[in-house]
Amino acid sequence: MSSLAPLFQLYKSRLREFFRQPARIFWVYGFPLVLAVGLGLAFKSKPVEMIPVDLVESGSWNEVAKTIGTHNTKPGPSLDPRISIHSGTAEGTDNRLKTGKTPLVILAISPTQVEYRYDPTRPESVTARNAVDSILQRAAGRPDPVKTSDIVIDEPGSRYIDFLIPGLIGLNTMGGGLFGVGFLIVNFRVGKLLKRFMATPMPRRDFLLAIVGARLTFLVPDIAVLLSLGHFGFQMPIRGSLLLVVMLDVIGALAFAGIGLLIAARANNTETVSGLVNLVMLPMWLFSGVFFSAERFPDAIQPFIQALPLTQLISGLRMVILEGAGPLQIWVPLTVLTVWSVVTFVVALKIFKWS
Partner 1 sequence: MADRAIYVHQLFKRYKGRNGPVDAVNGLDLEVETGECFGLLGPNGAGKTTTVEILEGLNTPTSGEVEVLGRRWETDENEIRQRIGVTLQETRFPDKQTVREMVTLFRSFYHQGLNPETVLERVALESKSGAYVESLSGGQQQRLAVAIALVGDPELLFLDEPTTGLDPQSRRQLWDVIRELSGRGRTTLLTTHYMDEAERLCNRVAIVDKGKVIALGSPADLITRLGGEHIVEFAIQPTESPIEADEFAHLATVISARAEADGFALTVGKPHQAIPALLDHLAQTERTLARLTTRQVSLEDVFVSLTGRHLREEDESPSNGSIKKRWGKR
Closest approach of Cβ 202 to partner 1, in Å?
Answer: 4
User: Considering Cα of 80, then 86, then 87, then 93, what sign does the dihedral take?
Assistant: negative
Would you count residue 87 as binding partner 1 (CB under 8 A)?
Answer: no
Query: What does the DSSP assignment read for 134-193?
Result: HHHHHHTT----S---------TTSSHHHHHHHHHHHHHHHHHHIIIIIIHHHHHHHTTH
Would you count residue 8 as binding partner 1 (CB under 8 A)?
Answer: yes
* CA pair distance 198, 125, nearest whole angstrom: 70
Would you count residue 123 as binding partner 1 (CB under 8 A)?
Answer: no
Would you count residue 355 as binding partner 1 (CB under 8 A)?
Answer: yes
Closest approach of Cβ 258 to partner 1, in Å?
Answer: 23
Q: What is the DSSP letter of 215?
A: H
Of the two residues 72 and 187, which places its CB atom closer to partner 1 in the complex? 187
Would you count residue 20 as binding partner 1 (CB under 8 A)?
Answer: yes
Would you count residue 44 as binding partner 1 (CB under 8 A)?
Answer: no
Closest approach of Cβ 3 to partner 1, in Å?
Answer: 9
Torsion from C-alpha of 120, 296, 286, 257, nearest 10 degrees: 150
Q: Residue 59: which of 131, 112, 132, 98 has the closest Cα?
A: 112
Task: Decide the pairing of beta strands 105-110 and 113-117.
Answer: antiparallel
Of the two residues 187 and 302, which places its CB atom closer to partner 1 in the complex? 187
Q: Where are the beta strands (DSSP E) in the chain?
A: 51-56, 83-88, 105-110, 113-117
Would you count residue 111 as binding partner 1 (CB under 8 A)?
Answer: no
Would you count residue 142 as binding partner 1 (CB under 8 A)?
Answer: no
Would you count residue 270 as binding partner 1 (CB under 8 A)?
Answer: no
* CA pair distance 307, 328, nearest whole angstrom: 19
Q: Residue 285 is which amino acid?
A: W
Would you count residue 282 as binding partner 1 (CB under 8 A)?
Answer: no
Closest approach of Cβ 265 to partner 1, in Å?
Answer: 18
Would you count residue 278 as binding partner 1 (CB under 8 A)?
Answer: no
Would you count residue 22 as binding partner 1 (CB under 8 A)?
Answer: no
Would you count residue 153 as binding partner 1 (CB under 8 A)?
Answer: no
* CA pair distance 40, 337, nearest whole angstrom: 28
Would you count residue 23 as binding partner 1 (CB under 8 A)?
Answer: no
Q: Which residues of 116-135 are buried (b: 16+ CB within 10 A; e: fewer)?
A: bbbeeeeeebeebbebbeeb
Closest approach of Cβ 330 to partner 1, in Å?
Answer: 38
Number of residues that bind partner 1 (CB under 8 A): 23
* CA pair distance 187, 89, nearest whole angstrom: 68
Largest distance between two CA atoms of the chain: 97
User: Among 1, 42, 153, 351, which residue sits at the site for partner 1 (rule: CB under 8 A)?
Assistant: 1
Would you count residue 353 as binding partner 1 (CB under 8 A)?
Answer: no
Of the two residues 15 and 339, which places its CB atom closer to partner 1 in the complex? 15
Q: Are 259 and 344 in contact (CB under 8 A)?
A: yes
Contacts of 282 (CB under 8 A, 6+ apart): none
Of the two residues 1 and 151, which places its CB atom closer to partner 1 in the complex? 1
* CA pair distance 307, 348, nearest whole angstrom: 19
Closest approach of Cβ 277 to partner 1, in Å?
Answer: 20
Closest approach of Cβ 197 to partner 1, in Å?
Answer: 8
Which residues in the 183-212 window bind partner 1 by CB under 8 A?
190-193, 195-196, 198-202
Of the two residues 75 and 201, which places its CB atom closer to partner 1 in the complex? 201
Please give the residue ranges that form the binding site for partner 1 (CB under 8 A). 1, 5-6, 8-10, 13, 16-17, 20-21, 190-193, 195-196, 198-202, 355
